[in-house]
Amino acid sequence: MTLTEPNLVVDVGASGTRVALVVADQTTLVKEPASGAASWPSSVCLADEGFLVGTPAEVRKRAMPRRYIDGPRRAVDASASIWLEHREVTGPEALAAYLTVVGNETRQLFGLGPIDRLTLTVPADYLPGDPRRDTMIAIGEAAGFRDVELIGGAVAAALDPRTDNLPAGALVLVCDLGATWTTAIVQVYGSHTVQLAQESSPAGQELDALLINDLRTQGRTWLEPLLAAPGDAGLRAYYEAIDFVRRLKHQLVDSDEVVDHLTPLSPPYRLTRDWLEAFAAPALRWLVDSVHGVLGTVGATTADLAAVVVSGGGAHLSAAHAAVRSGLGYEPPGGAHRAAAPEPLRVAAEPELAVLRGAARFAAGAAGRVVTADPPRWRVEPTSWEIPGGRARLARWCVPPGEPYQAGAVLAHIRTPDERVFELTAAQQGRQLGQQVAVGDLVGPVLVVAAAKDATALQGQPPPRRRHLESTGSWLLTPDGEHLVECDRAARLIRLRAIADDTVRAEFRPDHGPGGDPQGRVYLDPEGRLAVVTWDTDGFLSVWDIETGKLTVRFRDPGEPHRVLVDETGWRAAAEGRTRAVGRYRRTVVTLWDLRTGERIDRITDDAWQQHRPEFAEQSQLGGFRASVVSADGQLRASVADSLDGITAMLLQDTVTGQELFRVLGGTGQRLRVGFSADSRHLLANWESNERSLIDVWDV
């Protein structure tokens, strides 16, 4: 896929469908050619010339109402067939026909050739493993699209660019109020955003049904005869009544009252916003209960939510906003706002397009969903066997992973289909690094395993350095060995980088407040959460939780510290001020602070205070960088070698033999810490001096 390959994004709703075209990072709303509207009617009519969709289907239904359906995806939801007069049509067939027309219309509008990529939204209850997901992919392929991606509606709403400005890991409550009402808890990680819990209700459809019943009640004398008319006339009147109440409902977005006639000869029907909200009362009660339900499912509270997103056509109901606020405790019954409460409710303009905008953002990230082949690894070489007859079943492994073996050793047994057992032997000495094939699996025509190269061979060929990163601040290796955290000296920008591909997964920019000339570093609090601790020349100390972006505490040290050290286990800070006169002597004054509360714990006047309190350190002691560390697979040890003439060296050894494999010298006066990535594939060295902090990454 190239960066300019078009991607069609379709949000298929029960009554309306929204379409966008994504090319590179540009998104264009595709309006229906027949009406010029942003929403295509979700309708299909089987005419003699084939399937008509959207407004042409709406026009033709007046002449052939028995060949018309709206919301073909509902038939997919229910795994049901549809009778279009005398022909039985499956839900997938009808929806594929709809998407085929949408794709063709889009190509003609923009003068495009074939569009191979399709991004489809699916309901939040299409969970992983649901066979309907496979059905939706098959529908997209049947409509002529080569690559079909799915995104849940709640996840898409959380990714809406008009409401999204959230740190990685933030929890979002999504209330998507379309024909189906859905509440969901979503955790935001860019294109890796996931849905944690959801509940759904046909509340939007039920609201339409209540409006139809009210229309029938008020128009009993004139509407019922129309609906009871024999043949197509009664069905045609029913469809016109549905269109009528939906039209009035949408008109109430901009007015408090609407009055209209179903037919030129029928009496006027009046609908007010108050009546509409009264009809919606059962749905709103469900909404409040569901908000509590999904929070309880994930064990979260209102305080854990970074945002509440309300999307879909029902987001135009002001009563829905009040119900959500009330359910979350932001607005008590009666309507008065709670003054001290945060207000994370986000309702973007045109909320009915929120899911489409979020899905388009997801589609625009498709170019980044690339898996590059693993490069050859420095200490790994493949060992392979041709399988007799081309196929066999693995019977057993004879040498555990990590154990050395000699040339000629039996590494595994395989059993061929004719029940012969073969031994797979080693051509030379080595050590298996992994067994990707499980006992009982079929193998062939070739079985390949990874084996460690001989230490002597590694000594003559140093590992390739993958990258060299530089910062004026500091680096932290997360304990899971998957990310590097970069913090510039002034702690104005914190970046979370993936070690595997060096992509920046998240950024955080603290608001330092009134103080001047800030400094800071990243640490791990006692719960293992990343936090940035900053201080400035005015004596203000601040702590932020990086995952949520929240300022957890801010206080002032009157001693105006020039250096701050942190005890991560006790979550305390030692603020070291300038030397001051204490009696006849000048002493360093150090104040200990509680980083949870901002309360002062103690004051010390002792130049050697750090010798007695080694738990306080300038750098994180809980991160993945150490003076000595063993890789997760147990094969390598990296350590800081003794300084020679002020030059520090990094030493890499084989843990089994103790042989030195690799040595790197640093610069004069540099401090060194080392670490490994979680998969043991990358060796990291952090070289620090007073001027800069460097990261070297080697493929091992």
Instruction: Give 391-437 pLDDT, tens digit per residue.
Output: 999 999 998 887 888 888 998 999 888 788 889 898 888 777 767 78
Residue 374 lies in a domain: no
What mean pLDDT is predicted for residues 99-127?
94
Per-residue pLDDT, 1:
40
CA neighbor of 565 nearest in space, from 603, 531, 599, 521: 521
Give pLDDT, residue 206. Answer: 86
Structure tokens at 675: 């670490």
112's CB contacts (< 8 A; 6+ apart) are 6, 106
Higher-pLDDT residue of 107 and 503 is 107
What tokens appear for 180 in the block? 């189906």
Report whether pLDDT(611) > 90.
no
pLDDT for 338 beyond 60: no
What CATH number is associated with residue 420?
Answer: 2.40.50.100
C-alpha triplet 153, 151, 129: angle, nearest 5° = 105
Pick the more confident residue, 25 or 468. Answer: 468
The DSSP element (H or E) to which 397 belongs, if any, is: strand 392-397
pLDDT of residue 529: 93
Q: Which helix (H) or strand (E) holds 354?
A: helix 354-364
pLDDT confidence of residue 77 = 81
Domain boundary among 453, 477, 492: 453
**Residue partners of 223: CB distance under 8 A and separation at least 6:** 215, 216, 237, 241, 262, 266
Closest CA to 523 of 597, 561, 574: 574
Based on the domain organization, do 192 and 241 belong to the same domain? yes
At 458, the pLDDT band (50, 70, 90 cuts) reads confident
Helix axes 232-251, 220-227, angle to 10 degrees: 130
pLDDT for residue 142: 95
- Which of 144, 162, 180 is the last residue in one of the domains? 162
Are residues 209 and 334 part of one domain? yes
pLDDT of residue 486: 95
Tell whether 369 is covered by a domain.
no
pLDDT value, residue 220:
85
Pairing relationship of beta strands 39-41 and 16-23 according to DSSP bridges: antiparallel
Q: What is the DSSP letter of 568?
A: T
Domain-located, residue 367: no
Q: Picking from 126-130, 239-243, 458-462, 568-572, which range would have the lowest pLDDT averaged per residue? A: 458-462
Pick from 26-30, 63-67, 369-373, 615-619: least confident: 369-373
Structural domains in the chain (count): 5
| Cβ 361 vs Cβ 28: under 8 Å | no
Half-sphere exposure for 617 (CA within 13 Å, toward CB): 13
* Same-domain check for residues 207 and 320: yes
Q: How many CB atoms lie within 10 A of CB 228?
A: 10
pTM for this prediction: 0.64
Inform me whether the pLDDT recorded for 276 exceeds 80: yes
> Cα(486)–Cα(477) distance, rounded to whole angstroms?
9
**pLDDT band, residue 675 (cuts 50/70/90):** very high
Average pLDDT, the chain: 87
Strand order in the sheet with 392-397: 421-425, 410-415, 392-397, 442-443
**Rounded to whole angstroms, how far apart are CA atoms 463 and 377?**
8
Look at residue 357 and tell me if it is in a domain.
Answer: no
Q: Across residues 32-49, what is the average pLDDT?
A: 92
Residue position matching structure tokens 């305390």: 572
Question: Does residue 167 register a pLDDT over 80?
Answer: no
Q: Are residues 472 and 435 in the same domain?
A: no
Q: How much is the pLDDT for 17?
A: 95
In the chain, DSSP finds a helix count (H) and a strand count (E) of: 14, 46
Statement: residue 555 has pLDDT above 70: yes
- Give the model's pLDDT for residue 148: 92
Q: Which of 76-90, 103-117, 555-569, 573-587 has the lowest mean pLDDT?
A: 573-587
pLDDT at 339 over 50: no
pLDDT of residue 11: 96
**Mean pLDDT (whole number) for 586-605:** 89
* End-to-end Cα distance, the chain: 31
Q: Which of 294-308, 358-372, 577-591 is the most confident on average?
A: 294-308
Q: Is 375 a domain residue?
A: no
111 & 239 share domain:
no
Domain endpoint, select from 584, 618, 652: 618
Residues 101, 204 share a domain = no
Measured CA to CA, the distance from residue 328 to residue 322 in angstroms comes to 10
3-state SS of 25-76 is: CEEEEECCCCCCCCEEECEEEEECCEEEECHHHHHHCCCCHHHEEECHHHHH
User: What pLDDT does 75 receive?
Assistant: 83
**Is 354 within the bounds of a domain?**
no
- Residue of 637, 632, 641, 625 whose CA lies nearest to 674: 625
pLDDT of residue 340: 39
Res 335 pLDDT > 50: no
pLDDT of residue 600: 95
Q: What is the mean pLDDT of residues 140-147?
A: 94
Asked whether residue 270 carries a pLDDT value surpassing 70, the answer given is yes
Residue 264: is its pLDDT beyond 90? Answer: no
> Within this chain, do residues 171 and 49 fall inside the same structural domain, yes or no?
no
Q: pLDDT band for 373, please (50, 70, 90 cuts).
A: low
Q: Do 490 and 517 have their domain in common?
A: no
Same domain flag for 65 and 127: yes
Among 634, 640, 615, 622, CA closest to 680: 634
Residue 549 lies in a domain: yes
Domain assignment present for residue 19? The answer is yes
Residue 576 one-letter amino acid: E
Asked if 116 and 144 sit in the same domain, the reply is: yes
Flag whether pLDDT at 640 surpasses 90.
Answer: yes
Cis amide leading into 445 (omega within 30): yes
Specify the pLDDT at position 584.
54
CATH code for the domain in which residue 59 is found: 3.30.420.40
Q: Whole domain around residue 196: which residue ranges?
A: 164-347
Task: Tell me the percentage of the chain whose pLDDT exceeds 70.
Answer: 94
- 236 and 196 share one domain: yes
On whether both 300 and 175 belong to a single domain, the answer is yes
Does 652 have pLDDT greater than 80? yes
Mean pLDDT of 490-504: 91
Provide CB contacts within 8 A for 129, sequence distance 6+: none
What's the average model confidence in pLDDT over 147-153?
93
Please check the confidence at residue 336 and state whether its pLDDT lies above 50: no
CATH number for 580: 2.40.128.650
Higher pLDDT, 584 or 415: 415
